[in-house]
Amino acid sequence: MRGPTIQFAAMSAVMAGMTVATLAAQTHKEYRFNVGPKAGVSVNNPYGSVTVKPSTGNFVVINAILASDKVEVDNSLVGNRVEVQSHLLAGADDRNARVDYEILAPADASVTLHSTAGALRAEKLHGDMNLEGAGANVDVRDITNAHVHVKTLNGPVSLTNVQDGHVEVDSLSGNVTLKGVNGPLVQVISTSGAISYVGDFGDHGEYRLTSHSGDIEAVVPDSTSADVSARTVRGEVHDDIPLQPKEHPSYVLQKGIAFWGTMGRAAASSTVVLRSFSGKIHLRKRSEK
Protein backbone atom coordinates (compact mmCIF):
# COMPACT_ATOMS: atom_id res chain seq x y z
CA MET A 1 0.00 0.00 0.00
CA ARG A 2 1.08 3.52 -0.66
CA GLY A 3 1.86 5.98 2.11
CA PRO A 4 -1.30 8.11 1.82
CA THR A 5 -3.47 5.02 1.75
CA ILE A 6 -1.85 3.67 4.90
CA GLN A 7 -2.24 7.05 6.54
CA PHE A 8 -5.93 7.19 5.60
CA ALA A 9 -6.52 3.67 6.89
CA ALA A 10 -4.79 4.44 10.15
CA MET A 11 -6.81 7.62 10.67
CA SER A 12 -10.01 5.80 9.89
CA ALA A 13 -9.16 3.13 12.39
CA VAL A 14 -8.41 5.71 15.06
CA MET A 15 -11.63 7.59 14.41
CA ALA A 16 -13.64 4.39 14.41
CA GLY A 17 -12.02 3.45 17.67
CA MET A 18 -12.87 6.81 19.18
CA THR A 19 -16.46 6.54 18.00
CA VAL A 20 -16.80 3.08 19.47
CA ALA A 21 -15.25 4.27 22.72
CA THR A 22 -17.61 7.23 22.87
CA LEU A 23 -20.64 5.08 22.19
CA ALA A 24 -19.45 2.57 24.73
CA ALA A 25 -19.12 5.30 27.35
CA GLN A 26 -22.63 6.59 26.64
CA THR A 27 -25.45 5.30 28.73
CA HIS A 28 -29.15 5.60 28.28
CA LYS A 29 -31.50 5.98 31.21
CA GLU A 30 -35.25 6.27 31.39
CA TYR A 31 -37.38 7.48 34.28
CA ARG A 32 -41.14 7.59 34.54
CA PHE A 33 -43.33 9.52 36.96
CA ASN A 34 -47.09 9.60 37.35
CA VAL A 35 -48.30 13.14 37.91
CA GLY A 36 -51.56 15.02 38.30
CA PRO A 37 -53.02 17.82 36.22
CA LYS A 38 -50.88 20.90 35.70
CA ALA A 39 -47.73 19.21 36.87
CA GLY A 40 -44.37 20.94 36.96
CA VAL A 41 -41.23 19.78 35.22
CA SER A 42 -37.90 21.36 36.02
CA VAL A 43 -34.65 20.41 34.31
CA ASN A 44 -31.23 21.82 35.09
CA ASN A 45 -28.66 20.60 32.61
CA PRO A 46 -25.33 22.41 32.29
CA TYR A 47 -24.23 20.65 29.12
CA GLY A 48 -26.47 19.15 26.51
CA SER A 49 -29.91 19.58 25.07
CA VAL A 50 -33.37 19.34 26.57
CA THR A 51 -36.44 18.66 24.44
CA VAL A 52 -39.94 18.59 25.87
CA LYS A 53 -42.89 17.17 23.96
CA PRO A 54 -46.41 16.27 25.05
CA SER A 55 -47.11 12.87 26.54
CA THR A 56 -50.36 11.02 26.02
CA GLY A 57 -51.42 10.95 29.65
CA ASN A 58 -50.71 12.17 33.14
CA PHE A 59 -47.15 10.95 33.26
CA VAL A 60 -43.68 12.27 32.66
CA VAL A 61 -41.10 10.18 30.86
CA ILE A 62 -37.48 11.25 30.91
CA ASN A 63 -35.07 9.76 28.42
CA ALA A 64 -31.49 10.74 29.13
CA ILE A 65 -28.35 9.96 27.19
CA LEU A 66 -25.28 10.46 29.37
CA ALA A 67 -21.96 11.00 27.66
CA SER A 68 -19.90 9.33 30.38
CA ASP A 69 -19.77 8.29 34.01
CA LYS A 70 -18.61 11.80 34.92
CA VAL A 71 -22.22 12.85 35.15
CA GLU A 72 -25.31 11.34 36.66
CA VAL A 73 -28.98 12.21 36.64
CA ASP A 74 -30.61 13.18 39.91
CA ASN A 75 -34.36 13.09 39.70
CA SER A 76 -37.26 13.32 42.08
CA LEU A 77 -40.98 13.82 42.27
CA VAL A 78 -41.80 16.51 44.79
CA GLY A 79 -45.53 16.90 45.13
CA ASN A 80 -46.73 17.30 41.59
CA ARG A 81 -43.38 18.46 40.32
CA VAL A 82 -40.68 16.43 38.62
CA GLU A 83 -37.19 17.79 39.19
CA VAL A 84 -34.22 16.69 37.14
CA GLN A 85 -30.63 17.75 37.67
CA SER A 86 -27.51 16.69 35.79
CA HIS A 87 -25.09 16.10 38.60
CA LEU A 88 -21.48 16.66 37.59
CA LEU A 89 -18.83 14.51 39.19
CA ALA A 90 -15.12 15.03 39.65
CA GLY A 91 -13.33 15.38 36.32
CA ALA A 92 -16.44 16.48 34.47
CA ASP A 93 -16.10 18.86 31.56
CA ASP A 94 -18.29 20.17 28.80
CA ARG A 95 -17.86 17.02 26.71
CA ASN A 96 -17.93 14.14 29.14
CA ALA A 97 -20.63 15.73 31.28
CA ARG A 98 -23.06 16.18 28.44
CA VAL A 99 -26.55 14.83 28.93
CA ASP A 100 -29.22 15.00 26.24
CA TYR A 101 -32.75 14.79 27.53
CA GLU A 102 -35.93 14.02 25.69
CA ILE A 103 -38.89 14.49 27.96
CA LEU A 104 -42.53 13.64 27.48
CA ALA A 105 -44.79 15.64 29.77
CA PRO A 106 -48.52 16.33 29.94
CA ALA A 107 -49.40 19.17 27.59
CA ASP A 108 -50.63 21.29 30.48
CA ALA A 109 -47.41 20.93 32.47
CA SER A 110 -45.39 23.97 33.50
CA VAL A 111 -41.86 23.58 32.22
CA THR A 112 -38.67 25.18 33.51
CA LEU A 113 -35.46 24.45 31.62
CA HIS A 114 -31.94 25.62 32.42
CA SER A 115 -28.84 24.98 30.37
CA THR A 116 -25.55 26.73 29.83
CA ALA A 117 -24.95 25.75 26.27
CA GLY A 118 -27.30 23.03 25.13
CA ALA A 119 -30.34 23.52 22.95
CA LEU A 120 -33.67 23.99 24.73
CA ARG A 121 -36.77 22.95 22.83
CA ALA A 122 -40.42 22.78 23.72
CA GLU A 123 -43.35 22.05 21.46
CA LYS A 124 -47.08 21.40 21.44
CA LEU A 125 -47.63 22.39 25.06
CA HIS A 126 -50.02 24.77 26.73
CA GLY A 127 -48.54 25.11 30.19
CA ASP A 128 -46.33 27.98 31.21
CA MET A 129 -42.68 27.70 30.34
CA ASN A 130 -39.52 29.33 31.49
CA LEU A 131 -36.35 28.68 29.51
CA GLU A 132 -32.98 30.09 30.49
CA GLY A 133 -29.44 29.57 29.35
CA ALA A 134 -26.38 31.64 28.57
CA GLY A 135 -25.56 30.20 25.19
CA ALA A 136 -28.60 28.02 24.88
CA ASN A 137 -30.27 27.82 21.51
CA VAL A 138 -33.96 28.15 22.33
CA ASP A 139 -36.65 26.79 20.04
CA VAL A 140 -40.30 26.97 21.11
CA ARG A 141 -43.14 26.05 18.80
CA ASP A 142 -46.83 25.24 18.64
CA ILE A 143 -47.70 26.64 22.04
CA THR A 144 -51.14 27.89 23.01
CA ASN A 145 -52.48 29.97 25.84
CA ALA A 146 -49.31 30.00 27.92
CA HIS A 147 -46.76 32.27 29.47
CA VAL A 148 -43.47 31.85 27.63
CA HIS A 149 -40.46 33.45 29.27
CA VAL A 150 -37.03 33.11 27.72
CA LYS A 151 -33.67 34.47 28.82
CA THR A 152 -30.41 34.00 26.98
CA LEU A 153 -27.03 35.66 26.90
CA ASN A 154 -26.02 35.08 23.31
CA GLY A 155 -28.06 32.08 22.32
CA PRO A 156 -30.52 32.58 19.47
CA VAL A 157 -34.21 32.37 20.25
CA SER A 158 -36.87 31.12 17.89
CA LEU A 159 -40.57 31.14 18.70
CA THR A 160 -42.94 29.70 16.12
CA ASN A 161 -46.72 29.50 16.22
CA VAL A 162 -47.27 30.69 19.77
CA GLN A 163 -50.94 31.54 20.04
CA ASP A 164 -52.60 33.64 22.71
CA GLY A 165 -49.36 33.75 24.64
CA HIS A 166 -47.91 36.01 27.26
CA VAL A 167 -44.44 36.15 25.79
CA GLU A 168 -41.37 37.79 27.28
CA VAL A 169 -37.98 37.27 25.70
CA ASP A 170 -34.79 38.82 27.05
CA SER A 171 -31.55 38.24 25.23
CA LEU A 172 -28.36 40.25 25.43
CA SER A 173 -26.85 39.44 22.07
CA GLY A 174 -28.77 36.51 20.67
CA ASN A 175 -30.99 37.05 17.65
CA VAL A 176 -34.68 36.62 18.31
CA THR A 177 -37.08 35.32 15.66
CA LEU A 178 -40.83 35.28 16.16
CA LYS A 179 -43.08 33.65 13.57
CA GLY A 180 -46.80 33.53 14.05
CA VAL A 181 -46.57 34.72 17.64
CA ASN A 182 -49.50 36.58 19.14
CA GLY A 183 -51.23 37.22 22.43
CA PRO A 184 -52.06 39.86 25.00
CA LEU A 185 -48.39 40.64 25.54
CA VAL A 186 -45.40 39.96 23.33
CA GLN A 187 -42.25 41.66 24.51
CA VAL A 188 -38.67 41.25 23.35
CA ILE A 189 -35.75 43.15 24.83
CA SER A 190 -32.26 42.78 23.46
CA THR A 191 -29.03 44.68 23.82
CA SER A 192 -27.41 43.90 20.50
CA GLY A 193 -29.36 41.04 18.99
CA ALA A 194 -31.56 41.45 15.95
CA ILE A 195 -35.29 40.96 16.30
CA SER A 196 -37.46 39.58 13.54
CA TYR A 197 -41.24 39.34 13.76
CA VAL A 198 -43.30 37.66 11.06
CA GLY A 199 -47.02 37.60 11.74
CA ASP A 200 -50.12 39.72 12.02
CA PHE A 201 -49.78 41.14 15.56
CA GLY A 202 -52.96 39.38 16.63
CA ASP A 203 -56.10 41.28 17.39
CA HIS A 204 -55.86 42.61 20.92
CA GLY A 205 -52.30 42.62 22.15
CA GLU A 206 -49.40 44.80 23.08
CA TYR A 207 -46.27 44.08 21.12
CA ARG A 208 -43.05 45.70 22.18
CA LEU A 209 -39.78 44.92 20.40
CA THR A 210 -36.71 46.73 21.72
CA SER A 211 -33.05 46.45 20.88
CA HIS A 212 -30.24 48.82 21.70
CA SER A 213 -28.11 48.24 18.63
CA GLY A 214 -29.76 45.33 16.87
CA ASP A 215 -31.99 45.70 13.82
CA ILE A 216 -35.71 45.14 14.10
CA GLU A 217 -37.81 43.85 11.24
CA ALA A 218 -41.53 43.26 11.27
CA VAL A 219 -43.11 41.56 8.28
CA VAL A 220 -46.89 41.62 8.29
CA PRO A 221 -49.71 40.57 5.95
CA ASP A 222 -52.15 42.99 4.33
CA SER A 223 -54.84 42.07 6.79
CA THR A 224 -52.90 43.38 9.79
CA SER A 225 -54.64 45.95 11.94
CA ALA A 226 -52.57 47.76 14.54
CA ASP A 227 -51.25 51.02 15.85
CA VAL A 228 -47.55 50.99 15.08
CA SER A 229 -44.95 53.33 16.46
CA ALA A 230 -41.27 53.06 15.63
CA ARG A 231 -38.47 55.18 16.90
CA THR A 232 -34.70 55.17 16.85
CA VAL A 233 -32.16 57.65 18.13
CA ARG A 234 -29.14 57.02 15.94
CA GLY A 235 -30.46 54.39 13.56
CA GLU A 236 -33.09 54.67 10.86
CA VAL A 237 -36.65 53.58 10.26
CA HIS A 238 -38.21 52.30 7.07
CA ASP A 239 -41.89 51.91 6.53
CA ASP A 240 -43.10 50.18 3.38
CA ILE A 241 -46.72 50.18 4.47
CA PRO A 242 -48.98 53.21 4.26
CA LEU A 243 -50.02 54.24 7.74
CA GLN A 244 -52.74 56.63 8.76
CA PRO A 245 -50.77 59.18 10.79
CA LYS A 246 -51.60 59.82 14.41
CA GLU A 247 -53.03 63.22 15.18
CA HIS A 248 -51.33 63.63 18.51
CA PRO A 249 -48.11 61.66 18.66
CA SER A 250 -46.31 61.81 21.96
CA TYR A 251 -42.96 62.49 20.34
CA VAL A 252 -41.67 64.36 17.34
CA LEU A 253 -42.02 62.30 14.19
CA GLN A 254 -38.79 63.21 12.50
CA LYS A 255 -38.63 61.61 9.10
CA GLY A 256 -36.21 58.74 8.88
CA ILE A 257 -35.98 58.10 12.59
CA ALA A 258 -39.60 57.74 13.69
CA PHE A 259 -43.08 56.96 12.47
CA TRP A 260 -46.37 56.39 14.18
CA GLY A 261 -49.65 55.47 12.59
CA THR A 262 -52.43 53.00 12.12
CA MET A 263 -52.43 50.21 9.62
CA GLY A 264 -55.57 48.39 8.58
CA ARG A 265 -58.80 49.21 10.33
CA ALA A 266 -59.07 52.63 11.89
CA ALA A 267 -60.17 51.07 15.17
CA ALA A 268 -56.96 49.13 15.54
CA SER A 269 -56.89 46.61 18.30
CA SER A 270 -53.19 45.83 18.78
CA THR A 271 -50.46 48.21 19.81
CA VAL A 272 -47.01 47.73 18.34
CA VAL A 273 -43.95 49.55 19.68
CA LEU A 274 -40.62 49.17 17.90
CA ARG A 275 -37.59 50.77 19.53
CA SER A 276 -33.91 50.70 18.76
CA PHE A 277 -31.19 53.11 19.78
CA SER A 278 -28.83 52.62 16.87
CA GLY A 279 -30.29 49.77 14.85
CA LYS A 280 -32.52 49.88 11.81
CA ILE A 281 -36.24 49.38 12.12
CA HIS A 282 -38.08 48.07 9.11
CA LEU A 283 -41.82 47.50 8.82
CA ARG A 284 -42.75 45.78 5.62
CA LYS A 285 -45.50 43.89 3.96
CA ARG A 286 -45.29 40.16 3.55
CA SER A 287 -45.02 39.29 -0.11
CA GLU A 288 -47.90 37.09 -1.21
CA LYS A 289 -46.96 34.12 -3.28
Partner 1 sequence: MTCLELRESLVEQEDGSRPEQRAHLKDCSECATLVADLLVIACAAGELRASHEPSPRVWNSIEIALRQEGLIKPQHSHHSLLPSFGSSWGWSRWLAPVAALLLIAAGIYVRQYSHGPAIARNEGRPTVQAPVPDTTIAGLNASLKDDDLLQGISQQSPALQATYTDNLRRVNQYIQDARSTVDADPSDEDARRSLMEAYQQKAMLFELALDRSLP
Please report, as ranges, the residues that interact with partner 1 according to CB under 8 A: 44-47, 88, 92, 94, 97, 114-116, 132-135, 151, 153-154, 170, 172-173, 189-192, 210, 212-213, 231, 233, 250-251, 275, 277-278
Of residues 158 and 171, the one with the C-beta less far from partner 1: 171
Of residues 134 and 219, the one with the C-beta less far from partner 1: 134
| Least distance CB 252 / partner 1 (angstroms) | 10
CB 133 within 8 A of CB 155: yes
3-state secondary structure the chain: CCHHHHHHHHHHHHHHHHHHHHHHHCEEEEEEEECCCCCEEEEEECCCCEEEEECCCCEEEEEEEECCCCEEEEEEEECCEEEEEEEECCCCCCCCCCEEEEEEECCCCEEEEEECCCCEEEECCCCCEEEEECCCCEEEEEEECCEEEEEECCCCEEEEEEECCEEEEEECCCCEEEEEECCCEEEEEECCCCEEEECCCCCCCEEEEEECCCCEEEEECCCCCEEEEEEECCCEEEECCCCEECCCCCCCCCCCCEEEEEECCCCCCEEEEEEECCCEEEEEECCCC
| Least distance CB 111 / partner 1 (angstroms) | 15
Of residues 170 and 217, the one with the C-beta less far from partner 1: 170
| Least distance CB 164 / partner 1 (angstroms) | 21
Q: How far apart are CA 224 and CA 142, in angstroms?
A: 21
| Least distance CB 166 / partner 1 (angstroms) | 14
| Least distance CB 14 / partner 1 (angstroms) | 26
Of residues 193 and 202, the one with the C-beta less far from partner 1: 193
Of residues 171 and 225, the one with the C-beta less far from partner 1: 171
| Least distance CB 192 / partner 1 (angstroms) | 5
| Least distance CB 75 / partner 1 (angstroms) | 15
Of residues 136 and 226, the one with the C-beta less far from partner 1: 136
Of residues 11 and 233, the one with the C-beta less far from partner 1: 233
